[in-house]
A and B are shown apart, each in its own frame.
Chain A
């Protein structure tokens, strides 16, 4: 009996210690897992921070180079920050950004409202496409900047001239995008729509429109980029406000290159924001089919 008890005891103890061991092991495993996860998170964060770190390194190098050999040909990053602060203090930054965005909105908006419906109609109708295409091909390679003298002659110095130039820069790309979008609609979709008895207005709304939207979105995104390029150029010549004007004015009125670069930085950042906003439209589920490789 005693032996049995002793055995029981041993078995029990072994069992308990086994349990204990298991618990400790699982705890350790847990800790290891947690540590692994933490390490992974940190790694992830580092990967994400990589572009920022890269920019920071460049900025530091730039700052160091300029402070070691002060030159007049390039402001330091810190000087640019000062320039932005200066602009903010005088209330100019906000004013100029709004002025530029205002012109882009009008020029781009008008080009969209006119160019896309026109392109859709022209693309649908083969004969009108044949008629209009050569003309478009001649106008398209003319830089909108070549129109600056005529724009000033027709509209004077002011918003309308700048808006007109942006409109020209956007109109032809959008027209062509819309023409091609319609031409590229697979005939099966149109045939299926007709087969289900859709009247023409329904066919446009339920088949043609959804079929072209993804391509139009890409065209709009690229064209908005063009608009943002054109506005800067137009503001350098045709108006007295906006980010383009800021750059020219900062140079003319006393070689404030810190302000010139501040203007460039703002143009870059706002351009990035505009592009990101347009890009986010492409993730809408009912548009996404056209971008996924099926």
Chain B
């Protein structure tokens, strides 16, 4: 394969999964209104991994919350599979930072949380499968307070995957982890993504993280956030993070955000 070759979309990217059209979000507080998101247009294909990056406080999380149905847009629409989103839905699971796991439930209880419609035996099978997938074997009966930050984060991902959603929304999921754990978690997320082929929208303020993970990186501006640029990351996985192409893409995004890469 020469580098000039046209990249053929992987077979899993078949159609548009998520479509955002002319989205505006304005917050009103104490009679003052603040435009947070301005005229956002975005399309995400089935099975695609998209990262949203931008300066902190720019509205990335607001956009993700709107996609997830937790916030209604002031104008414009979010539609998934052609259907307008009107609220949260178990087909699209939102993963918060590791604080989102229920501290009163064990690892098994958390993973099984969304499986209340399944028969008991089927639920057990599903739980066992995801316990194994995220490497929490032996901790089935542990409570989150007994787990490390990385384990809690894996638990939350497992809880999300267990209901077999089409999409995952991840809001800075590794932001609270130490850098070694964060590195491992990225690898694990990619491994899971490659086996499960979910469509993923991932918010991060870490540009390296975005370039390592995503098919496309959506660069947002400071508030009111507009989409400045969408960068396609045309490096196959596993990615060599010291390759010239990687550095070129990363530096391009850094410049776009207005950060010099020399400190």
Q: Which A-chain residue is minimally distant from B87 (CB atoms)?
A: A194
Cβ 8 A contact of B70, one of A191, A285, A289: A191
Q: How far is the CB of A187 from chain B (nearest CB, A)?
A: 9
Which secondary structure characterizes the binding site on chain A? helix
Of B28-36, B77-85, B96-104, the one with at least 4 CB within 8 A of chain A: B96-104
Q: Select from chain A the residue with minimum beta-carbon distance to B143.
A: A289
In the complex with contacts A189-B102, A191-B88, A211-B104, A294-B96 CB distance below 8 A: no
B113 interface residue per 8 A CB criterion: yes
Q: Report whether B96 and A188 are in contact in the complex, using a CB–CB cutoff of 8 Å.
A: yes
CB <8 Å contact, A196 and B105: no
Complex Cα–Cα for A34 and B96 (A)? 53
Asked if A289 contacts B104 (CB within 8 A), the reply is: yes
> What is the distance, in angstroms, from A186's C-beta to the closest C-beta of chain B?
7
Q: Report if A237 contacts B (CB, 8 A).
A: no
Which residues in B have their C-beta under 8 angstroms from that of A289?
A: 103-104, 143-145
Given A191-B70, A202-B116, A292-B145, A207 and B90 contact (CB-CB distance below 8 Å): no
Contacts of A195 in B (CB 8 A): 68, 88-90, 92-94
> Nearest-CB distance from B126 to chain A (Å)?
14
Contact with B along A191-218 (1 / 0, CB 8 A): 1101111000010001100110100000
Which of B87, B92, B99, B104 makes the CB contact (< 8 A) with A287? B104
In this assembly, does B200 line the interface, its C-beta being within 8 Å of a C-beta of chain A? no
Whether the pair A286, B90 counts as a contact (CB closer than 8 A) is no
How many A-B pairs with Cβ below 8 Å? 59
Main secondary structure of the interface of B (DSSP, over half): loop
Q: Interface 1/0s, chain B 188-232, versus A by CB < 8 A? A: 000000000000000000000000000000000000000000000
Question: Number of contacting residues on A, CB 8 A?
Answer: 23
A192 touching B94 by the CB < 8 A rule?
yes
**Chain A residue with minimal CB distance to B171?**
A188
Assess whether A188 is in contact with B104, with CB atoms less than 8 Å apart: no
B97 nearest CB neighbor, chain A only: A188
With a 10 A CB-CB cut-off, give which of A191, A192, A206, A211 has the most chain B CB atoms. A192
B114 at the interface (CB under 8 A from A): yes
Which residues of the other chain, B, contact A292 by a CB distance below 8 angstroms? 145
A contact residues around B104 at 8 Å (CB) = 210-211, 213, 286-287, 289
Least distance between A151 CB and chain B CB atoms (Å): 40
Verify B100–A192 contact, CB threshold 8 A. yes
Give 20 new A-B contacts, CB below 8 A, not counting A195-B90, A196-B90.
A188-B100, A191-B88, A192-B94, A192-B100, A192-B113, A194-B88, A195-B92, A195-B94, A196-B93, A196-B113, A196-B114, A197-B89, A197-B90, A197-B114, A207-B102, A210-B105, A213-B104, A286-B143, A287-B104, A288-B145
20 contacts between A and B (CB under 8 A): A186-B99, A188-B100, A189-B102, A191-B88, A194-B88, A195-B68, A195-B88, A195-B90, A196-B113, A196-B163, A197-B88, A197-B89, A197-B114, A202-B116, A210-B102, A285-B143, A286-B105, A286-B143, A288-B145, A294-B145
